[in-house]
Each structure stands twice: as C-alpha cells, then as structure tokens.
Structure 1
Amino acid sequence: MKQFLFGNSPDSVNDLFPDRVIKRLLLDEEEIGVLRIGNTFFAFQSSCPHRGASLIQAHINGQGEIICPLHQYRFDLKTGQLKMGFCGDLKVFQTQLTEEGLLVFTQ
C-alpha cells in the first residue's frame, strides 16, 4: 500500500480542500477525486465506472452519495457501493487527517 501526503498541517489541508469542493489529484498514474465535508475527507476514482464520466463535476447529496453528472448514478462516498444505477461499485481510497497533513492510501 502506498501513501501520499497533502499539506503540512490540518489548517493547510483545509485550505487545499475547501468544504464540499471536489479536487482532482494525480497519484502516480491514477487520477482521483478528493472531497472534504466538514472534517471528513473522501477519496475516490475520478471517473464513473458506468461510462467513464468525470466525477470531478459530480454533485453530492445529503445522504453522503456522489451523483454522476451523466446518468445520475449514485455511489456511497464511504464505501463506494452503488446505490442507484446499473454498474460496478466506485473505487474508494482510505484517508487520514494527521498533524502532518492529509494521508491518502492507494493499493
């Protein structure tokens, strides 16, 4: 498992990731999205597993789901589980906010 560090303190991480704004990151060869809601961070594959639409432009609903802008498929941000639609689950990545910054773990 690889880990990537962003920012150098919790405050710098909050500045890097404004609340409820999806940011695109490139980790080695993999493009992911990172989203902060309050003090919780989510990291996920940047394209929908259905037709590859960009999830960087997606909407987040009040149930903690990311909604694909192309066909409105919904995925749980914590688990990646498909909640509505007909495709595989979304790949999600573990995150951890530390005093040194935000860690994102990949397989």
Structure 2
Amino acid sequence: MEQSEASYTWHKVFDSVTEAREQVPLRKLKQLVLDGRTICFAHTASGFFALDDACPHLGYALSKGTTNYLDEVVCPWHSYRYNMQNGRECEFRTRKAVLHRVELREEGVFVGIEQTASTA
C-alpha cells in the first residue's frame, strides 16, 4: 500500500528570497506567527528552516536563541541544540523539535504547516 503524501497549509512569509535574506540575515532567527502558531524561522549557510518556536525542553522561545555552523538552533535558556534538518536535540536529552517545510518559489518564500488528521 502506497503511503499518502502529507497535507500542508502553505503560508507566504516573504515576497522573495531577497526579502527573506534582508529580514532574516545569515545565522539569525525571526519569530513568525502563522494561523496562531508561533514559528522560529532560521537562516543558515544551508538555507532557510522553520520549526515550532517553543523549545521542546521547557518551552522557551527558540527565536531568541542563536544558530551555529552545524545547522542547529541553540536555545538561549539551557543551551539545548536542535538540528534544523531532523529536529533532534544534539545529546538526545529531550524530544525532537517540530520542523516545518520551507519552499522557495517564484512568488516568494513559503512555510508549510502539516495538517494533522482529526480523529473521529
């Protein structure tokens, strides 16, 4: 049986890649609110990333932290580091960060929030 592709709600967050680079310079973070959900938007040498803004450890805003050369976001509270490509905390001390898809399109930069299936 073939697995169905996840369904996403796409949010245009910048009109162009140039605007995204201006608003979120290299190695910087920006807090975005998309449909009431707080997102940490990151820019590293590898590109743009998006993840839930609340640190999985104790809920502090990751967007107030920093990034490093390993494509990790570093929480400013207890320095937990989360890989922005797979969500894992570097020392496996807590659950993964929730990641969101980022797409660079002609019309701009979009963040995709995966739709959760409702249970009946």
Same fold per superposition (TM over 0.5): yes
**Deviations 1:8-37 (Å, cap 9, x if unpaired)?**
222223223222221110010200010112
Q: 2:14 matched to 1:11?
A: no
Q: 2:33 matched to 1:26?
A: yes
Letter in 1 for 2:78: H
Residue 95 of structure 1: aligned partner: 102
Residue 3 of structure 2: aligned partner: none
Is there any run of 5+ residues in structure 2 with no aligned partner, and where? 1-7, 115-120
Q: 2:50 matched to 1:43?
A: yes
Cα distance, 1:40–1:68 mapped onto 2, change above 3 Å: same
Q: Which has the larger radius of gyration?
A: 2
Instruction: Say what the alpha-carbon RMSD is for the aligned residues.
Output: 1.5
Q: Assess if the C-alpha contact under 8 Å between 1:10 and 1:100 holds in 2.
A: no
Alignment length (residue pairs): 107
Q: TM-score, normalised by structure 2?
A: 0.81
Paired with 2:56 and 2:46, the residues of 1 have a C-alpha distance of 27
Residue 69 of structure 1: aligned partner: 76
Deviates more, 1:51-60 or 1:4-13: 4-13
Is there any run of 5+ residues in structure 1 with no aligned partner, and where? none
Q: Assess if the C-alpha contact under 8 Å between 1:75 and 1:84 holds in 2.
A: no
Deviates more, 1:96-105 or 1:1-10: 1-10
Give the fraction of aligned pairs with identical amino acids, expressed as a percent.
Answer: 27
Match of 2:64, SS state, is coil
Q: TM-score, normalised by structure 1?
A: 0.89
